Structure 1
């Protein structure tokens, strides 16, 4: 059981970092899409950024709840 707990903690830390990286990538591509005149795509990518920020917050709360 303790092994699973430690694994979950490490997974949450990994998922938080991974999700942050994805969010940043989405943000960069939203800017590029806007520069290419793809406003609608840029808007959807910006929505994805907001979604990833929500994911990160949820994962952080899960990690905090373990401590």
Structure 2
């Protein structure tokens, strides 16, 4: 049986993705600090950039979630 897609369950799914991404952002930033401390400066910068991109993705997910409830 396939679950019917509606505003509520899509909103819940998007919220799950955002929360999941937040945990990755935190982890990436922690590991970037460790990498920087151990002299892996390029890797540290790239990991931080990845965290920033995930943060940007969350902005889009939030926008999508908000848009679910502004449909005509």
Per the TM superposition, whether the score is higher than 0.5 is yes
Gaps of 5+ in 2: none
CA RMSD of aligned residues (A): 0.9
Moved over 2 A (4+): none
Mark the structure with the bigger radius of gyration. 2
**Count of matched residue pairs:** 65
Work out the CA distance in 1 between the residues paired with 2:25 and 2:58.
Answer: 9
Aligned to 1:7: 9
Give secondary structure in 2 for the equivalent of 1:56: helix
Give secondary structure in 2 for the equivalent of 1:4: coil
